[in-house]
Amino acid sequence: MWFYLVILICLYYALCWHWEKKVVQNLPEKYVFITGCDSGFGNLLAKQLDLQGLRVLASCLTEKGAEELKRKTSDRLETVILDVTKTESITSATQWVQERVGDKGLWGLVNNAGIGLPTFPNEWLKKKDFVKILDVNLIGLIEVTLNMLPMVRKAQGRVVNVSSVAGRLSVFGGGYCISKYGVEAFSDSLRREIAPFGVQVAIIEPGNFRTLILSPDNLNDITKKLWSQVPLETREAYGEHYFKSYCKSMNYFLSRGKKNLYPVIWSMEHALTAVHPRTHYVADWEAKFIHIPLSCLPTSLLDFILSKFLYRVKPAHAVC
């Protein structure tokens, strides 16, 4: 019986491999618009797709980022300055893209732009701290998509949204996890709505990758500044020991971030170039075998596990 089970599993994965390896034709004629190309995933994806011969339209937040990207790519790649938190900037970028794609439409839209900080215990933060992240990671992503979608429909193309395993398992406070949960929900509803038009939507869920250029000293300075702005009563409730432990955990988390970004880039590339892309790409073995399984556990069991590994240090005035 076990022999037949192994054969069936092998056959299943062989069929999946054959199904997913088919590549879209005429890729050099297709346009892909990517947000957040100054650094990290967006920057590397723009270079990778340019090497593959696609017509890359890369948006950067700064002129410096755009100039550096153009120096390292071919003449096919074009850049535009885009701040996804500003409607007028999105409108201008949309017109810029429309001028270039014309009647062909936009084959690929990659919503990659995102920020992670401030990410601290919720009670230490203010409304503006949550809004800062949500404006970029969620609201900006939605507004860019709504503006670009008519061009994607015309090309019967792809929308690729960068989420995170934090969109399934929220392990720290602040707006980051909230924004990624929102990206998951928006992407799922969008996928079902525009499937009849021949448009496919994929979600990329990276694990812990080192895309944030931030030294431990810089992080400590940011954390100390935030801690000093927390009301005295709150600081006393949590205590100095809890604060130092949190800083240590954040430094450890950042230090363990993977420097090799290509597993995520390959997932993005597959979502854009495969005839049969997946709906979800979990681009990290740690995420696949630890974070995703944890997110499926009953809440009480999950809380118990996290309390033993992530929240071992209790606030000074904790009652349990």
Q: What are the backbone dihedrals phi and psi of residue 295, each rounded to the nearest 5 degrees, phi first?
A: -65, -15
Name the DSSP letter for residue 288: I
3-state helix, strand, coil in the chain (%, to 5): 60, 10, 30
291, 213 Cβ separation under 8 angstroms: no
Catalytic annotation present for 176: yes
CA proximity to 243, closest of 172, 306, 315, 309? 315
Q: Does the N-terminal peptide bond of residue 196 adopt cis geometry, omega within 30 degrees of 0?
A: no
Neighbour-count burial of 153, counting CB atoms closer than 10 A to its CB (0-12 exposed, 13-18 middle, 19+ buried): middle
CA–CA distance, 292 with 87 (Å, rounded to integer): 35
Catalytic residue among 176, 181, 238, 242: 176
CA–CA distance, 44 with 261 (Å, rounded to integer): 8
As annotated, the active-site residues are: 176
